[in-house]
Amino acid sequence: MNAPVKPSQLIKGATGDWEVVIGLEIHAQVSSSAKLFSGAATEFGGAPNSHVSLVDAAMPGMLPVINEECVRQAIRSGLGLNARIHLRSVFDRKNYFYPDLPQGYQISQYKSPIVGEGEVVVDLPDGGSVTVGIERLHLEQDAGKLLHDQHPTSTFVDLNRSGVALMEIVSKPDLRSSEQAKAYVSKLRTILRYLGTCDGDMEKGSLRADVNVSVRRPGEPYGTRCEIKNVNSIRFIGQAIDYEARRQIGILEDGGTIDQETRLFDANKGETRSMRSKEEAHDYRYFPDPDLLPLEFTQAYVDELKAQLPELPDAKKARFIRDFGLSAEDAGVLVSERESAEFYEAVLAELKDQGRDGKLAANWVINELFGRLNKDGQSIESSPVSAAQLAAIVALIGDGTISGKIAKELFEIVWTEGGDPRVLVEQRGMKQVTDLSAIEKVVDDIVAANPDKAAQVVAKPAMLGWFVGQVMKSSGGKANPQAVNDLLKRKLGL
Ligand code: ADP
Ligand code: MG
């Protein structure tokens, strides 16, 4: 059970507080080289109608043949969502007419989906978490795409996407704010990317959401929902929810009622608009597709797939906290992308025999490396600093060879010029001075040059920081900060 909605999540209306209720239907394109019922390629960006088989174009007499790889990916996704896998499921025809759908129906799953109930734990920006119920995951075909901007009086159709496998992942109405909804979509995307069952690329439309929104007074039954179709970025999902909740509250507070309808999010205006009134299941005249047998597989097959799943983000996060002493926040950042977690683990592997300090390594990956990658708009896969190089820098800090400050300079050199950090430290004289007599000489000089400040420091111990700064500056940042501190305290009588 989730904690009750916090007052901060309620929306203030003119007549009191409202609670927003959200359920999401996520369409995730299955990572597979071929379509759900044909051998045509699923590649993105081909010339229009270059990846279309006779099945995808719905030529008479063509029969669909299930692509086992798509089934395998759907099962693996279901396992990643802690969901029940149904050993028998059924493909149905969902009938509707639209020019991007040459069959005149979409092959989907209705009453018997391949995956049943599951759940996803979602960490929230405020440190809390919410458990979101999964209603189902089913397989279905994508439709083609209409092109309205190719000809002054005609509309063209591109069937490259027609028949591509989608997983529709339906959540229960368990989300209570746009923040929660955004965090849920990110988490789902992360899980699918770890599994390799969907690339999660929202810009290319590989992952998009139908967003169901209703509002109610706290504690009352659910209100009537509106469904905002095909929202294709996490930021837009948040904006659409906030706008839609406000719109519904406005209507209800004016004494009106909400019509259950399908709406569209206009990203330019940041508002939702009515598309059509809500269609009911019977409008689609669902019936089992007579061209396809029920989909059946054995529990042994499911068990085998389960045994081969990669370590998923929740398990990885728990292990990072347990084995490397990381905070939940740092562990969460590292596991949010599989590539980041792998990079961190590669750094730790390099540090194996060098007094491995997991926290220090995490700091360097998150703050220095990610910070630098972001600044340059680069991704971890193309990082100019390798895991081995970063590990060497961390090891040099760990054993006291360089200070944290010098390490940042070293990092910058490795970033721009490359090279072995250990060699660079030698060549460029970057080693930390731990020779006490050398540091003492600098300390004495600084104290002697500033008699007035030295006289004040006993009354104002905070001034010690100024002295430390002077000594560090004068030593080119290479003096061991601990030694500087100790020596200064002694010399200044603190
Ligand atoms: P449909 O095909 O009619 O859209 P689905 O079962 O596919 O129905 O999806 C319904 C979605 O709407 C689910 O994600 C569910 O959580 C959500 N939902 C149901 N009732 C409400 C409600 N009152 N407010 C917000 N979301 C809701
Ligand atoms: Mg729907």
Q: CATH classification of 436-491 is 1.10.10.410, yes or no? A: yes
For the chain, what are the domain ranges? 7-306, 311-427, 436-491
pLDDT higher than 60, residue 386 = yes
pLDDT higher than 70, residue 295 = yes
pLDDT score at 478: 78
Question: Which of 42-46, 216-220, 249-253, 335-339 is least confident?
Answer: 42-46
Q: Could you tell me if 365 and 334 are in contact, meaning their C-beta atoms sit under 8 angstroms apart? A: yes
pLDDT higher than 60, residue 1 = no
pLDDT higher than 90, residue 7 = no
Cα of 209 to ligand 1 centre, how many Å? Answer: 12
Residue 329 φ/ψ, nearest 5 degrees: -65, -50
For the record, the structure tokens of 4 come out as: 């009750």
- Answer yes or no: is the C-beta of 222 below 6 A from any ligand 1 atom: yes
List, for residues 84-94, the tens digit of each pLDDT value: 999 999 999 99
Mean pLDDT of 226-240: 97
Q: Could you tell me if 144 and 155 are in contact, meaning their C-beta atoms sit under 8 angstroms apart? A: no
Protein residue with its CA nearest to atom 19 in ligand 1: 173
Q: Could you tell me if 202 and 230 are in contact, meaning their C-beta atoms sit under 8 angstroms apart? A: no
pTM reported for the whole predicted model: 0.88
pLDDT score at 124: 92
List, for residues 213-228, the tens digit of each pLDDT value: 999 999 999 999 999 9
pLDDT higher than 90, residue 429 = no
pLDDT score at 437: 80
Cα of 3 to ligand 1 centre, how many Å? Answer: 21
Mean pLDDT of 336-355: 91
Q: Which residue has the higher pLDDT, 311 or 431?
A: 311
Report residue 364's pLDDT band, with 50, 70 and 90 as the boundaries: very high
- Answer yes or no: is the C-beta of 94 below 6 A from any ligand 1 atom: no
- Answer yes or no: is the C-beta of 234 below 6 A from any ligand 1 atom: no
pLDDT higher than 90, residue 109 = yes
Protein residue with its CA nearest to atom 13 in ligand 1: 23
pLDDT higher than 80, residue 330 = yes
For the record, the structure tokens of 466 come out as: 């100024």
pLDDT score at 418: 94
Report residue 8's pLDDT band, with 50, 70 and 90 as the boundaries: confident
Tokens 């439309």 belong to residue: 205
pLDDT higher than 70, residue 137 = yes
List, for residues 21-60, the tens digit of each pLDDT value: 999 999 999 999 999 999 999 998 889 999 999 999 999 9
Mean pLDDT of 271-299: 91
Cα of 190 to ligand 1 centre, how many Å? Answer: 23
Report residue 241's pLDDT band, with 50, 70 and 90 as the boundaries: very high
- Answer yes or no: is the C-beta of 212 below 6 A from any ligand 1 atom: yes
Q: Could you tell me if 37 and 163 are in contact, meaning their C-beta atoms sit under 8 angstroms apart? A: yes
- Angstrom CA distances, 379 to 122, 135, 187, stand at 24, 34, 19
pLDDT score at 3: 65
SS (H, E, C) the chain: CCCCCCHHHCEEECCEEEEEEEEEEEEEECCCCECCCCCCECCCCCCCCCCCCCCCCCCCCCCCCCCHHHHHHHHHHHHHCCCCECCEECCEEEECCCCCCCCCEEEECCCCCCECCEEEEEECCCCCEEEEEEEEEEEEECCCEEECCCCCCCCEEECCCCCCEEEEEEECCCECCHHHHHHHHHHHHHHHHHHCCCCCCCCCCCEEEEEEEEEECCCCCCCCCEEEEEECCHHHHHHHHHHHHHHHHHHHHCCCCCCCEEEEEECCCCEEEEEEECCCHHHHCCEECCCCCCEECCHHHHHHHHHCCCCCHHHHHHHHHHHHCCCHHHHHHHHCCHHHHHHHHHHHHHCCCCCCCHHHHHHHHHHHHHHHHHHCCCCHHHCCCCHHHHHHHHHHHHCCCCCHHHHHHHHHHHHHHCCCHHHHHHHCCCCCECCHHHHHHHHHHHHHHCHHHHHHCCCCHHHHHHHHHHHHHHCCCCECHHHHHHHHHHHHCC
- Answer yes or no: is the C-beta of 174 below 6 A from any ligand 1 atom: no
pLDDT score at 485: 87
Q: Which residue has the higher pLDDT, 162 or 441?
A: 162
Q: Which atom of ligand 1 is least distant from the CA of 223?
A: 23
pLDDT score at 424: 94
pLDDT score at 4: 67
